[in-house]
Amino acid sequence: MSGLERVAQPDGPHPGRPPDRTVRRADPVLLDAVRARLARHGPQPTAEDVTEAVRSAGTVLGSQALAELGAAVRAEVLGAGPLQRLLDDPEVTDVLVNAPDQVWVERAGRLERSAIDLGTPTQVRDLAVRLAAAGGQRLDDASPTVDARLPDGSRLHAVLPPVAGGCALISLRTLRRQAFTLDELVRAGSVAPGLVPVLRALVAARASFLVSGATGTGKTTLLSALLSLVAPTERIVCIEESGELAPDHPHVVRLLARAANVDGAGAIGLSDLVRQALRMRPDRIVLGECRGAEVRDVLTALNTGHEGGCATLHANTAADVPARLEALAALAGMSRESVAAQAASALDAVVHLRRDGPRRYIAAVAVVRRAPTGELAVETAVDVTPGGLPVRGPGWEALARRMGA
């Protein structure tokens, strides 16, 4: 017995790629034996522990077969099972499971269907439950949705029936291990060459700014690249729900939010972490994603002498940023007038991203100000044409003054 099962797969469309017709899975009996041995290693077994447990299971194999079996078992025990090889693909950013035979991946900005078949709805549910447990979260009939971070950094969202219909839905987003540089983003078409001096000047002048855009526009990628421009003598404190920011900088510390445990206790939110960051001698306070009441604490922090802070924010256009900030601040009990006063004083600029098909790019740079009517306003300073040419807007002089130009 090899300890591996080959499961037949239906052909699926892979533009330019051969279809996978088989997927290797570890034998369930072997998996049970390995899990029993791993129980002695505590709650966090390593890949080496898994390999040693496979060797100790008594299956006689050659070195190549043993390595193949070890990889399959590690994927089942520590990873995402049959989906793990998709997550390991550097071109894949998202893995989406709609049904056992409907596994989709986003590769190079385009969705395509994978040939992987996960078996039955019960097996998909079991996979979702195991992944949630690996992320320290509960997923069952009493708690049918989960949002968690897996040990390898991948982001998990899962929904169980009947909320999800006939089969559990699984969404996985991979974590890029290495940040893009600003020059790489220029070569990729994400940043117009003419914007590079503007972005560098914003960082050098310690301007506080938001990176805005819709989901999947590359906000975190751009923010990581901009943080890599911060002087190495400065200390960056990144506050996130999950560690997605990866700036190439020698002095970065992270504070990660923690969800409540199965008993509903132990939660540490982003608002708490922003307050903790103020006591850590930060040169730059960075909020990975602003999407709740923590906006009050961030604006407060940036109004107490902590220049050069930044965050990402979901918004359809740069002009929608004020309304988005008002909606989030309302969750913290802030009035519209209070938000306008705080944001206009705390924030200098907005860098807005758009996505057209597979292309993600900076569409505009805007300045934040308070309108004569007292409302918060965002005024375009640089607009990027469809051809990638930056054009100055009405807010350019204000932006230039803030950059010291």
Helix (H, G, I), strand (E, B) or coil at 32: helix
118: its two tokens: 């996960």
- The angle formed by the CA atoms of residues 59, 64 and 65, to the nearest 5 degrees, is 35
Alpha helix (H) residue ranges in 57-187: 63-77, 84-87, 121-134, 182-187
Q: What is the pLDDT of residues 284-328, one digit of tens each?
A: 999 999 888 999 999 999 998 889 999 999 999 999 999 999 999
Reference 241, options 278, 274, 270; nearest CA is 270
- The rounded distance, in Å, linking the Cα atoms of 204 and 12 is 49
Radius of gyration of the chain (CA): 24
**CA dist 254 → 92, 143, 163, 309 (Å):** 25, 29, 35, 14
170: its two tokens: 């699984």
* Under 8 Å between Cβ of 365 and 231: no
Q: What are phi and psi of 156, to 5 degrees?
A: -115, 135
Q: What is the pLDDT of residue 343?
A: 95
| pLDDT-above-90 percentage for the chain | 57
- The rounded distance, in Å, linking the Cα atoms of 156 and 150 is 7
Q: Is the pLDDT of residue 75 over 60?
A: no
Query: Which residues does 27 contact at the CB level (< 8 Å), separation at least 6?
Result: 1, 3, 4, 5
384: its two tokens: 């990027």
- Going by pLDDT thresholds of 50, 70 and 90, the confidence category of residue 105 is very high
- What average pLDDT score do residues 220-244 get? 93
Q: What is the pLDDT of residues 117-171, one digit of tens each?
A: 999 999 999 999 989 988 888 899 998 999 888 877 788 999 999 999 889 999 9
Helix (H, G, I), strand (E, B) or coil at 150: coil
Q: What is the pLDDT of residues 187-214, one digit of tens each?
A: 999 999 999 999 999 999 999 999 999 9
Q: Is the pLDDT of residue 225 over 90?
A: yes
Alpha helix (H) residue ranges in 142-260: 182-187, 196-204, 219-227
Q: What is the pLDDT of residue 1?
A: 41
- The rounded distance, in Å, linking the Cα atoms of 201 and 351 is 13
* Under 8 Å between Cβ of 195 and 384: yes
Reference 226, options 258, 191, 188; nearest CA is 191
